[in-house]
Structures are given as structure tokens and as C-alpha cells.
Chain A
Amino acid sequence: MNTSAAGEIASYLKHGDYSVAVRRTLDFCLDTGNDALIENTINWSRQYHEYENAKESKTLPVDFVSQAENILQQANALQAGNNYRSYPLISAEKISKTYSGGGFSLKPIDLSIGTGNVLGVVGENGNGKTTLLRCLAGQLALDNGAIQYHLLQKPDSYAIKNHIAFIPQRIPKWYGLLKDNLHFSASIAGVYGAKNDLMVNFMLERLNLTSYAHLTWNQISSGYRTRFEIARILLQKPRLLILDEPLANLDINAQQTILTDLIFMAKGTHNPMGIILSSQQLHEVEKVADTVIFIKQGNCLYSSNDKEEKITSNAVEFETTANRDDIIALFGEDNIELQFNGGFYTIVSAALSAQEIIGKMIAAKIPVTYFRDITYSTKRFF
């Protein structure tokens, strides 16, 4: 993050987007590495979260924005020359895995990821997403191929697992107080003493979990469990974060928030990391991922890295109250493929672009309640 980030945050503050401003400011200050400033920012953030959690009875302090400006000014000064730089983390070459019992095979896949990168893995259930993630996390032995960990020299499995964090779809239960778990995770990663307190408080504020920290696992919802697990993992400072279906337990707003938060944290200079995540939420993943791979029956059918080579037609999906005949009549001469899956219509056309398709529908006064260009989306493979 740099001066442009400060400008971006200032813009959020100016337009009253306090939630995103607070989160970005916390990230911005964390990257300065200045404990006093981070502490100040945490206290400032608490004011906002107290207000947010009790909107009716509380108001934001009058100097809330000026405090933020002051923080940003200090952070900007400390951030001078502190530019983010990406470096490679892991490369997998022709990795494959076959289960002896079920007969399922993950066919050879190549991929690589660096710090600040997000790799999305999409595909239907039971097609090998989790197997691929577990192979990358060092949990499953490979049949063929190799994974190179660029930051580790001759690593053993323990060092690899110390280097990589894997959050499974079903998060194992935590025992004891949530806050104790966070302190423990920070201290086993070498974050001791006052820094430990600082980082735990930071993470609680960053993920808006402060008011839940004194609770236990059974006292929070599954969405908060996912957030706490992410907080715990981030405190262990992994270089590669692998998340298996992290959005499954989150509401629609939290999905957006968590994903964008992860991206910003991954690109921070405090602990730059790579992120690999699998999800059924295609559009959410595609929005944040630098690379998306689509897996079907163990085969990598598509990678957004080579989309220019493979995509030869445009595709859109839309929802309308018009009947099929009207749509066919509208695009009758354009040589399109029209499909209806029960909810959406999908049009695939080599000749028409997405803009042209929706333009024609508006001109023909066909009511459109939903429209998305899926030309470069893995959605078209489902």
C-alpha cells in the first residue's frame, strides 16, 4: 500500500464509507510496522465498531474523521519507500493423485502462485478441488509431479505445514476461550509479549470480532467461526493460505468483505502471502482471483491464465420474464446458442458481444431482471 491507498481511504471517509475505511486504515497502519500507530488505529477502530454495534444508542465521536486523517498522515510518512513487491511461493508441476479405494484421480496439473496472488479453484462437488488443495497443503502424498516451495530450502513436511495454512471446509472445533486461542496461535508463531497482545487485538478489530473474543466456540455462529479461524491462521503468519470453501458459511455481505479483506492482507507488506481458495461462489471468486482454474472429474479444464487462447465465443446469462419465443425471435438471425437451465437463459455467440446482446434486448423492450457477461467466467463450463 502507498500514498494512493491513503487517498483511497480518505475518499471512503469523505463519502461516509466508514466500514471499508476502517479496515483499509488498519491494513495501511499494520504495514508501517509501528506499534504505537497500530495501537492508536486499533483504538480508533474500536470507536467505530462500538458505534456500529450499537447504532441507535451511540454516535461516532465528532473528531472521528480528523483522528483518521491524523493516523493516515503518520502512516503515510512511515510508509514512504515501503513498496509491495511480489515473489514466488510455490510451483506445482504435473501433480497428480489417485485414491486407491474410490478410484478417483486428480489428473496432472501445473500451477504456481506468488505473494499477493489469489488462485481460485472452482468446479462441481466431488471433482477434485479439495484433493488438489490438500496436495498443495502437504496433507496428501502425490503420486506424480513435484511441488517446489521457493522460500524453503530442503523443507521437511513439518516446515511445509508451518509455511502453509490450510482451512478446511469443516473447521475443527476450538476449545477454551476464543481469545486464548488467538493468543496461543500468535505465540506459537513467535509473536511474544506486548506484540502478541497488539497483534491479537489488531486481528480482532480487523475482522470485527472484538465483541466475541471472550466467548467460546459453541457461543458463536458458523460465519463467525470461519472469521475466527481466519484470524487464528493469519496470526500464525503463513506464507500461503489455502481455504477450502471458505464462503460456504458466510452471508452475502460477509463473503464480499472477507474476500476483499484477504486480498488486501495478502498484498500487505506486513506478511505478504499467496491465497488459494476453492468455492462454489464463482462470481465472488472470479472477482478477486488473479487466476481461476476449473476442475472437472479431476481434469483442469480451464485456467484463466490462458483464457485468450481458449475463448472463441462470447457468453452471457440473464433472467427475464419474457418467453423463449420472443428471445429466439430477437436473436433469430444472429446464429446464437440459447439454453435455459430452469433459472437463467444463457446465450453463446461468436458474433455478438455482451454489450450488443443486452443492447438488443433493451431496444426490443425485453424485461431483463439479471444480466452477466460470463465470457471469461468458469460459469460457462458448468
Chain B
Amino acid sequence: MNKRLLVPFFLQKLDEKLLRNKPNTWAARTHLVIWFAVLFTLALGGFCYLAFFDARQYNSIGGWVTFVSLVAFIGFVFWIIFLLRFNLFKRYGNWFMWDGLKSFGLYFISIGAMVAVCFLPSEIQMLRANQQFGNEEIVNDINEINVDACKLEYELLPLQWKSEKYKVVNEIHDSPVTAEVEVDTIGSKLIYTDKQSMQLIDTMALRNKLAQTDSVIKVNDSIYIFFDCPDYTFVSSYHADEYTHKKIMDSKDIYYTVIKNYAKPDRVALLKKMDELYTKYATDNRFGYNDNYTDYNNNDNYNTRIIRKYKLGEVDNGLYNIVDKKYSWVNSWESYLRIFYYITLVLTLLVFIFRHTTVKTFFLSLLASVILMIFTGLLMVMSGGSDSSMYSFMIVYYVGFALLALSINASKVRSALQGIALNLFLFMTPFIPLIFVGLNRAIDRGSRYEEGNYYRPEEDKTALYTVIAEIAGIVILLILLEPLFRRLYRKWFAAPEN
């Protein structure tokens, strides 16, 4: 028996069985890739689990991902070396329907397993952060720190809210954005002179301002006075309360809870609590954030004085790092899924093409695609082309490749040009629906801009169409893979040369 390092007996038996019964499956070596991916995942997972023992430390996942990606790449190269040794198609072995689809699936799984391990450190880091700190716990502690700091340093806090007056206009074209405005309505507690200097605001900005302000008085239909509470938050975290029942208290909440009806606190108990929370969260280790300490040290306003006194900058660092890790996947899983999918798909397509074409034609195809990209770029630069013309070019190329590839059916000799066209035809197919979505969006945007409308319509369904196009692309590819692409490859590859 052929002994392989770290491969258990049952897998060696499976390997032998596949070699003698399923040559195409055996040649893909997916069973070995999955086994080594599992081994690597266990080893790396265990190592990461131990390494990520302190969720307060800054997020160093970039380095980890780079390291694991390099290891995965080495694994990929090894796999390719093994994969290229045996090729049923190029040996003109017995032809079975669906072998192409099966091979594509096996390549996708193998490459997917190698790409997936690159995400492992990030997953373990998230898992560890969630194990160490609960979602509600963090929100409670942030509120506790801010409230306690306000209670302890009440004398330092500003109590006056900042006010700003705005006049609503239909459009703001250029500066100045302030104007002298006649006020003919007087608010109940506010006295105005006849002319007021006010900032101009358009309706869209008004909508945003209304959503963000702590308080507002509508003087009349076009004049608003906005009030903003002084900042009573010393530590915070952007995503921390996104998925919790309890929310992080903003300055206004703190004002109404602590400041407005201030009562003298038990300072000893509060200081003890602040100490405990400092120990729990503080770290001076926050990647790329150290510059802010200069501001804290140089400024002498109430905020920085309180932050400096209770070392809340370090607490904020810890909170930032923890929340960053806890929610690293929650808000990005779609992006991660797309990264995983597209890397895997592109590599799978390249491997599939390489397995069905000659080495020369494969590299000529890569060269041709680079030359076409340069050519298209030049054309667009020279003609001042827009997004839509770029998408149009791609569709024209695709049609050209398809026609050339289909001409293989009528050809009696193997031509490199047809081979290149077939390779590029196959490669572009899963992306064609996306190109059409892009074209549609570019045309739509172009026509809106021509009408002077620069806002994306609310009923914009680009995201939905993108997902549909992504799914449609791979479905079309899989449907055409066996009856069209593989048949063309069969005809082209086996044809005699001139």
C-alpha cells in the first residue's frame, strides 16, 4: 500500500478504492484535500483559540489571515501538482456524461476547503470575544462607566445645550450657506430681533438633522432651532448595542437620568466600581489609535480631563477591540461569503479550463484577456467612455468568444484561436448576468444624471438583482457545462493539428 504521511488507514483504503473504481474522483484528490483541511483546521483552530486569549488586545487578524492564506496557497500548489498528474480527459479515457460537472464540483469543494481555512482565525477570534464578553454585559458596563463618571464629576460638566438656527430652502447651490432672515413668528420662550443670522439647510439635510438632533423647536414652516446636548459620553462603541435589548445611553439620556435631577452619589462605591471596570476593559493596545492620546493630554476641556483622570481612553480601547471582534462577522458575513465564493469560483474555473485545454492555449488565454483589458482601457480613455460602454465591451467580447467557440463544431482541426475563445467563453459565463445588471444600473444612473437627479431611488433593487445575477450566473454555467462546454472541449482538444 502506498503510505502517505498523516493519512489514516481508512482514507488510504478509500484512496485505493477510488483509484480502482472512480478514476476521475480519485484524480481530483478531494478526499485528501478535505482530510488535510480538517487537520489544518483543528490545529490552527486550537492554536488560535489559545492565542486569542484576551479579547481586549487589538485586532491583529490581518497578519493571521495573511499567514494562513500563504499556507493555503502552498496547499493549493501541492494540490495542483497532484491534480496535474492524472487526467482522464487528456488520456482519452472512457467518456461518461456528468463527469465534467462532477469534476467541477470536486474542484470547487477542494478549492473551497482551502479558501475557507483562511477565514478560520477571524471566526475563532469572534468566538473567543463572545465567550469572554456578553452583548448586554458590554452595553451595561458602557452605561455604568459614563453615568458614574458624570456622577463623580458633576461639577466639571457643562449644563447648557448648544443651539443652532436653520432656515429651510429648496436647494443650496453655492456658499454662503448662511443668511439674514426675517422672523415673523416668535417662539413661546424665545425672543428674536427682526433679523437673524441663520444657516441654510435643504430638505434632505433637514431630514437628517431632525433624526440626529437631541431637541428641536419649529419656529415656523421654514425656521428650526436645533438643540444639542453637551457630550456626556466618555466611552462608547459603535456596534455594541446593535443586537441588544438595552441600548447605550447617549448624552441626552444621561442628562435626563443623572444631570437634570442630580443627587450626590456614594463616591467611594462609585470609585471602586470604576476601578473594577477599568481593570476589566483597559488596554493601551489599540492599533492605529494612539495618536488620540496626544489630544487627551494637550486638551483641557471637561471631557479630556475626565477621560484622563479615570484613564477612560484605555477602557475605550479595550471596548473598541472587544466589540470590533465580537461583531466582525455579524456585519460582514455577506462580504466574506462573496470573497469566499468568488475566489473559489475563479480558481475553480481556471483549474477546470487548465484540465481541458493545452498548456499553451491556457496561457495564451490569460495573455489574451490581459491584452483585451488593456485595449478596452485605452479605448475607454480615448473615447471618454462611461461604465455602460465598459459593460457593453464585455458583452461584445463575450458574444465574440461564444461565436468563435461554437465554430469548433464545424472545424476539423484544432486551432489555438478557437481554444482561447472557448476558454474565455467558459470563464465569462458565470459573470454575464452580473455584467447585464451592471449595464442596466449604469444606463439607469446615466439617465438620472442627465435629468439632474443624483440620488439613488428608494426603490433601488440593485442589491437584489445582484444576488439574482450571481445565482443565475453559476446556474447557467452548471447547466451548460456538460452539454455545451465539455462537448466543445472534447471536440476541440481531440481534433488533429495542422
Q: Is the CB of B496 within 8 A of A138?
A: yes
Q: How far is the CA of A197 from the CA of B26 in the complex (A)?
A: 16
Decide if B91 is an interface residue (CB 8 Å cutoff).
Answer: yes
* 4 tightest A-B CB contacts, nearest first: A188-B93, A157-B494, A175-B85, A158-B494
The binding surface of chain B is classed by DSSP as loop
A139, A177, A179, A181: which contacts B496 (Cβ < 8 A)?
A139
Query: Number of residue pairs across A and B with beta carbons under 8 Å?
Result: 80
Q: Name 21 interchain pairs, CB-CB below 8 A, sorted by A.
A: A140-B496, A141-B413, A156-B490, A157-B495, A158-B95, A162-B93, A162-B94, A162-B95, A175-B85, A176-B85, A181-B86, A184-B23, A185-B91, A187-B19, A187-B26, A188-B88, A192-B20, A193-B20, A193-B21, A196-B20, A236-B93
- With contact pairs A139-B496, A184-B27 given, residues A158 and B491 touching in the complex (Cβ less than 8 Å): yes
A183-B20, A196-B20, A197-B20 known; 11 new pairs, CB 8 Å cut-off, are A157-B494, A157-B495, A157-B496, A158-B493, A162-B93, A184-B86, A185-B91, A187-B20, A187-B23, A188-B91, A193-B21
CB distance from B91 to the nearest CB of A (A): 6
Q: Is the CB of A162 within 8 A of B92?
A: yes
- The digit string for B478-498, where 1 denotes a CB below 8 A from any CB of A, is 000000000000110111111
Residues of B within 8 A of A157 (CB): 491, 494-496
**Chain A interface residue bracket vs B:** 20 to 34
Which chain A residue shows the least CB distance to B496?
A141
CB distance from B31 to the nearest CB of A (A): 15
Residues of A within 8 A of B496 (CB): 135, 138-142, 157
Which chain A residue shows the least CB distance to B94?
A190
Residues of B within 8 A of A177 (CB): 2
Q: How far is the CA of A139 from the CA of B91 in the complex (A)?
A: 13
Decide if A189 is an interface residue (CB 8 Å cutoff).
Answer: yes
Q: Is the CB of B497 within 8 A of A140?
A: yes
CB distance from B189 to the nearest CB of A (A): 89
A141, A180, A186, A188: which contacts B2 (Cβ < 8 A)?
A180
- State which residues 405-445 of B face A: CB under 8 Å: 412-413
CB distance from B485 to the nearest CB of A (A): 14
Number of interface residues of B (CB under 8 A): 28
Decide if A218 is an interface residue (CB 8 Å cutoff).
Answer: no
Residues of B within 8 A of A327 (CB): none
Which chain A residue shows the least CB distance to B81?
A175
Q: Is the CB of B19 within 8 A of A184?
A: yes
- The digit string for A282-297, where 1 denotes a CB below 8 A from any CB of B, is 0000000000000000
Q: How far is the CA of A186 from the CA of B2 in the complex (A)?
A: 18
Decide if B84 is an interface residue (CB 8 Å cutoff).
Answer: yes
- State which residues 161-181 of A face B: CB under 8 Å: 161-162, 175-177, 179-181
Decide if A4 is an interface residue (CB 8 Å cutoff).
Answer: no
Decide if A100 is an interface residue (CB 8 Å cutoff).
Answer: yes
